[in-house]
Structures are given as C-alpha cells and as structure tokens.
C-alpha cells in the first residue's frame, strides 16, 4: 500500500488545481467529465480496490492546469458498495494513495434536485470548498423548471453554475469558476438537521417546478415497462442487436481481410525465403490479422451497449428481468454486468461491483464468463462461416445469424442454470435489495459514445498488440522448431514441439472429436479465446505443404473437418474458460484463489460434457 500523498499544502499553491467531480448516479457527471477533459483521460483502478478511476486534465484560460477526478456516482456518504466507499474516502482524504481534492464540483441533475440536493447538503459536512454544477439545465428549462441560481447559491453557501454537459461550450461557466479563486468553505450544516427538510425548503424557495416528471418518460415507461410489450421490445432489441453485429460488420471485415492479405503478399515478395519471412507472414501478419478482423463486430456490439446505457434503457431492462433473475439466484442489477460481459467478461466482472449484496455479486461474477464475449466471436464466426450455409429463412432471417443467436442463448441458459444451482446449494437466504433508479430517458450523445468506443477499441488493439501478438509469435516458434528431419514426409509442424503437444492432447479430446490441429490451437487459446483462430491459421499455414501462406483458413477447415467436429468445438467455446484475463480479474475481484479454481473447474467440466454430447449426437445424426 502506498503512503498517502496528501500533505498539508494544497496542490493549488503549486499551480495545479485538483478537482473532484461528485454526484449521484445519473447526474450526467461522466458526460461533464468527458466535455471538460475530452480525450485527455486516464482510466485505471484505485490502489488496492477494483473501482475504476478516471482522471483527466485541461488547461484553463489563465493557463493553469486543472486535474479532474471523476469519482464514482454515489447516493450517500453512508456507503453501501465499494464504489461509494471510494467516493467517501477520497472526499474525506482518507484514501491511501489519493491526494485530497482542493475542490469538489457537485454535479446535480437540474431536473432531479429533490434527490440530488440532499447529497450536496451531506457533502457540506466534510469541509472542502464546493461548487455546484447545475447540469442538464437545458432539459430543465424545456420542462419549465425555473431555478433561482443566485438565491440557491446564497442559501447553499457555494457558487452555483449552470452546465450543459452535452453541448459544446456548455461547461464554460464552470471552467471560469474553476479558474477563479477557490470559493470559501461552505458552513457545515447542523449535525442534527434533517437534510430532507432542508432540501424541501430550498426547493420551495428557489425552484419552481410545473410537473414532477417528464411527460416523455411517463409515456415511454408505459410502453417499455409494460409487462408484455416491454418484454417483447426487449427481445426484439436484443435480437436486432445480434443480427446487426453480424450483418453490418461484414463489409468492413471484408475490407480488413483484403488489406491483411495484401500486406502478406507484399511482404512475402519483398523478403527472401527463410525463418524471418515465415515469422512475419505466417506468424505475425496472418495471426494478428485474423484477430483484428473482428474489431468491427466488437465495436458494433459496444456501440449498441453504449447507446442503451446512455439512453437510460439498461436499468429498464434490469427492471423487466429482475424477478426472473432473482428466481435464478441473481438480481436485475446483474443484467448490466452480464450484458457488458457479452463484449468482454473483464469489464463485466468489474461492473459487478455495483451490486451491493456480496452474494449476488459473487453469483454474477461466477456466471459472467458464460456470457458470449466478443473474443468468442472470431471462433464462432470462423466455424459458422465454414459450416453453416449462407441461407435466408422465413423471408428475412439469416441462418448464420440464427445459429449465432442460438449460441448466445445457450450461454445465457447455462448461466441461469449454474446460478440457480448455486442458489440451491447455499444455505443462506437473507434478503437483498434492488433499489434501482430508473433515470430519465436521454438521447445518447455522439461525443460520449465516441469516447466510449475509442476506449474499447484501444483496449482491444492493445490486447492484439501485446498478449495476442506475443502468443502468436510463441506459437510460431513452437510450431517451427525443431525443424523436421531431412527425410521427413509429413508437414513440418508434425515434427515440432507444438505438434507433439497437440498429439499428446489428442487422446483426451478424441471422444469430443477434436483433431490434433485443434488441440494445438487450444494450448495458446488458453490465454485468450480469439488466439485460437490465429493459432489455427498458423498451424494450417505452416502445415500446408504448399507455400501459399495466405491460403484462407475457412476453406481448409470446411473441407477437412466434419460437421460434428465443428459443432463440438462451438459447444466447447460456449463454456470453456479460455481466458487468463478473466480468471485474473476473478481473483482480483473476489480476493480468492478458491473462486478462480471453482470457476475454471466447473467451466472446463461443462465444456467437455457439452462437446462430448454434441459430437456424439451430431455423429449419430449425420
């Protein structure tokens, strides 16, 4: 643990102002943070805990640097989750390794003051200079909400500025305020005073509100939360999302594919034959290329998730599914971590921090790896492309899309089953809370969506650039050495280390129909699922007796594998915990190796069982 950095001298004296954004969830705090700092953001974790830490900086008009910390959204200093505890401890200067902020910017939604002002009053007791940012004041004005900011400022004892986080120049007043001298400390409220009563007085004196709710929210909720219409719309949305991931990405993927092929050819004509050319063309270009090609799908999936999140729909989905998920031993809140896990289990498992109840949280973490993450998509896409005919069913359903949908459903059903089993096995059945806020609907802003997408794209490309690329090179070494003897008759890879490992594993996987090439690909695929595709590409590129390294993987496997083998491998990938990062994040989030062991054990068990059943049944039927 680091020593506290905070000292008695505020960093403002050194020229850098250290500001923290605090506020309720759904106050538009992160949009404000994006607007202030743009792309100059650093995303990491708070020391010792796995709460996401977002920091950025910008230069004020005076030239002074302002560091902004985006603290996790919080309802109360009486923390009920690790996120809320971080916010409380950082504000109080009690968090090891975090300097205490010089100034708190309390972000409140101007249309939700009844709830948000209570937290502002609570924050006054911690003894830091404060500024109130009345966010979304454009929406408030449209709803006819009038706020006397001068009076509010005087009554609260702190400067009040209006902000519109989603508008260019919407933060100018806030920046001017931050650039000015630090405001005086607000007077601490009477410890015995009822904050709700004070909020009531502030509202009746400073704010005029024609209507408590937005008409549009009432109308939308009547439809979207309707017991049958709501569920139908949710199903259609999810279905459309997965169809789009497959069909919209296709032209982009063809483009990337052509580009990678062109680079491979160009490099191989430039270089002389030998190990270097083989490493570059067969190892690095073929390997990395076959993973980068899935970037469009991952980004489209994230685009949907981000839009649903920004629009306020995700908590509605949690509302609709809560009872169902409680029945399975989860909570409606698990919906958001589990939906994120469709992109990647790592952020999904980390998002489980927002579940206050430790038991619900653990159950969510343990089943999150069953959600079909985007790293499985390369494997699914390859196998579906090779074995499922491109056909239209019932007029407009794409058969390949339907199979993909079925694989997603298989993961979901398995997750519900496993969670239900865990619930049945454990003794403790005390109550846990939902208490989920359903925020006003908002039109997602392209600026925030693009920052979110940019974050995802860089995370994915960093993985390609580091773990995946180095494993691809390692696999190339394993597959190329030792070189075959001079009188060799088979493909070179059969004599290499990888070939030997693959052959050794073959007897384990023979009952599920995996050949030795698949077994080799499973070894580096333990580190990350999508590596299996590049591994297969490498194995087959090197194993083929022709020199044509850019030969497409797809026709090779569709001619060499049986349908039963392909289906068995699909079933394997629904369950197998082939992702070191997921296991590492489970260790970090649960602080327990036992949980890692349980997760890996049950997932491998399920994977083998599912593959075995699939292979044997498919062989009987074909």
The residues binding other proteins (CB under 8 A) are: 75-76, 78, 80, 111-115, 118, 194, 196, 209, 212-213, 217-218, 221-222, 225-228, 230-231, 315, 318-320, 322-324, 326-327, 332, 431, 433-438
Measured from the CB atom, the residue of 88 and 376 that comes closer to other proteins is: 88
- Residue 140, both tokens: 């408030």
What's the CA gap between 315 and 437, in Å, rounded?
Answer: 7
Q: Which is nearer to other proteins, 326 or 554 (CB)?
A: 326
H or E segment and range at residue 501:
helix 497-509
Burial (CB count <10 Å: 0-12, 13-18, 19+), residue 451: buried
Count of beta carbons in the 10 Å neighbourhood of residue 527 = 19
In the complex with other proteins, which residue's Cβ is closer, 34 or 356? 356
Instruction: Please state the closest distance from residue 115 (CB atom) to other proteins, in A.
Output: 5
Of 16 and 214, which has the nearer Cβ to other proteins? 214
3-state secondary structure of 333: helix
**Which tokens sit at 599?**
């997760």
Q: How far is the CB of 153 from other proteins (least distance, A)?
A: 21
> Which of 34/331 has CB closer to other proteins?
331
What is the per-residue burial (b if ≥16 Cβ within 10 Å, else e) of 395-410? eeebebbbbbbebbeb
By three-state DSSP, how is residue 228 classified?
coil
Report the nearest approach of other proteins to the CB of residue 32 (Å).
Answer: 19
SS (H, E, C) 21-51: EEECCCCCHHHHHHHHHCCCEEEEECCCCCC
Q: Given the complex with other proteins, which of 271 and 434 has the nearer CB atom?
A: 434
Of 92 and 209, nearer to other proteins (C-beta) is: 209
Shortest gap between Cβ of 444 and other proteins (angstroms)?
A: 19
Q: Which of 563, 560, 562, 542 is nearest to 551 (CA)?
A: 542
C-beta separation of 404 from 246 below 8 A: yes
Residue 357 CB, shortest distance to other proteins, in Å, is: 10
Contacts of 240 (CB under 8 A, 6+ apart): none
How far, in Å, CA of 71 to CA of 29, rounded? Answer: 9
Least distance in angstroms from the C-beta of 441 to other proteins: 11
CB of 591 to other proteins, least distance (A): 22
Cβ closest to other proteins, residue 231 vs residue 554: 231
Distance CA 138, CA 148 (A): 14
Name the residue nearer to other proteins (CB basis): 227 or 272: 227
Single out the residue of 374, 345, 379, 387 nearest to residue 534, CA to CA: 379
Smallest gap from Cβ 15 to other proteins, in A, equals: 38
What is the closest distance, in whole angstroms, from the C-beta atom of residue 27 to other proteins in the complex? 11
Q: Report how far residue 312's alpha carbon sits from residue 205's, in angstroms, rounded to the nearest whole number.
A: 30
């Amino acid at each position: 643990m680091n020593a506290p950095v905070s000292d008695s001298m505020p960093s403002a004296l050194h020229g850098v102002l250290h500001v923290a954004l605090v506020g309720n969830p759904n106050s538009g705090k992160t949009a404000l943070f994006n607007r202030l700092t743009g792309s100059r953001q650093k995303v990491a974790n708070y020391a010792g805990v796995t709460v996401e830490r977002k920091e950025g900086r910008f230069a004020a008009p005076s030239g002074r640097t302002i560091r902004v910390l985006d603290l996790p959204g919080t309802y109360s200093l009486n923390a009920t989750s690790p996120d809320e505890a971080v916010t409380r401890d950082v504000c109080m200067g009690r968090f090891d390794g975090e300097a205490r902020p010089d100034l708190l910017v309390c972000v409140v939604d101007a249309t939700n003051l009844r709830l948000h002002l209570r937290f502002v009053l609570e924050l006054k007791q911690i003894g830091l200079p404060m500024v109130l940012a009345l966010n979304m004041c454009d929406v408030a004005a449209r709803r006819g909400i009038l706020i006397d900011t001068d009076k509010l400022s005087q009554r609260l004892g702190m400067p009040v500025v209006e902000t519109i986080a989603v508008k260019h120049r919407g933060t100018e007043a806030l920046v001017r305020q931050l650039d000015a001298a630090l405001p005086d400390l607000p007077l601490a409220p009477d410890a015995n005073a009822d904050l709700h009563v004070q909020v009531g007085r502030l509202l009746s004196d400073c704010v005029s509100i024609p209507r408590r709710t937005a008409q549009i929210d009432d109308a939308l909720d009547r439809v979207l939360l309707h017991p049958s219409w709501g569920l139908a719309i949710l199903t259609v949305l999810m279905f459309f999302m997965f169809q789009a991931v497959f069909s919209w990405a296709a032209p982009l993927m063809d483009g990337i594919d052509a580009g990678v092929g062109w680079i491979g050819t160009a490099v191989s004509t430039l270089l002389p034959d030998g190990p270097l050319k083989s490493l570059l063309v067969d190892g690095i270009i073929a390997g990395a290329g076959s993973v980068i090609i899935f970037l469009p799908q991952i980004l489209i999936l994230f685009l949907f998730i981000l839009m649903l999140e920004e629009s306020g729909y995700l908590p509605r989905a949690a509302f609709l599914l809560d009872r169902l998920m409680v029945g399975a031993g989860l909570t409606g809140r698990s919906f958001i971590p589990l939906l994120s896990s469709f992109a990647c289990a790592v952020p999904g498992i980390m998002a489980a921090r927002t579940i206050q109840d430790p038991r619900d949280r653990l159950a969510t973490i343990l089943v999150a790896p069953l959600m079909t993450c985007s790293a499985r998509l390369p494997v699914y896409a390859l196998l579906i492309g090779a074995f499922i005919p491109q056909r239209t069913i019932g007029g407009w359903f794409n058969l390949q899309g339907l199979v993909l949908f079925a694989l997603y459903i298989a993961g979901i059903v398995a997750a519900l089953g496993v969670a239900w089993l865990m619930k049945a096995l454990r003794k403790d059945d005390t109550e846990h809370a939902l208490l989920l806020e359903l925020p006003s609907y908002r039109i997602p802003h392209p600026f925030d969506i693009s920052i979110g997408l940019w974050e995802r794209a860089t995370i994915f490309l960093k993985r390609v650039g580091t773990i995946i690329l180095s494993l691809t090179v390692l696999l190339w070494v394993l597959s190329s050495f030792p070189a075959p003897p001079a009188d060799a008759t088979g493909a070179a890879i059969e004599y290499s280390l990888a070939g030997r490992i693959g052959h050794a594993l073959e007897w384990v996987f023979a009952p599920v129909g995996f050949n030795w090439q698949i077994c080799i690909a499973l070894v580096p695929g333990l580190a990350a699922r999508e590596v299996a595709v590049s591994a297969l590409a490498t194995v087959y590129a090197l194993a083929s007796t022709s020199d044509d390294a850019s030969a497409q993987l797809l026709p090779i496997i569709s001619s060499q594998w049986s349908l039963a083998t392909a289906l068995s491998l699909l079933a394997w990938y629904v369950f197998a915990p082939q992702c070191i990062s997921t296991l590492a994040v489970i260790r970090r989030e649960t602080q327990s190796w036992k949980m890692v062991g349980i997760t890996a054990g049950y997932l491998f068990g399920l994977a083998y069982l599912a593959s075995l059943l699939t292979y044997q049944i498919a062989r009987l039927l074909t």
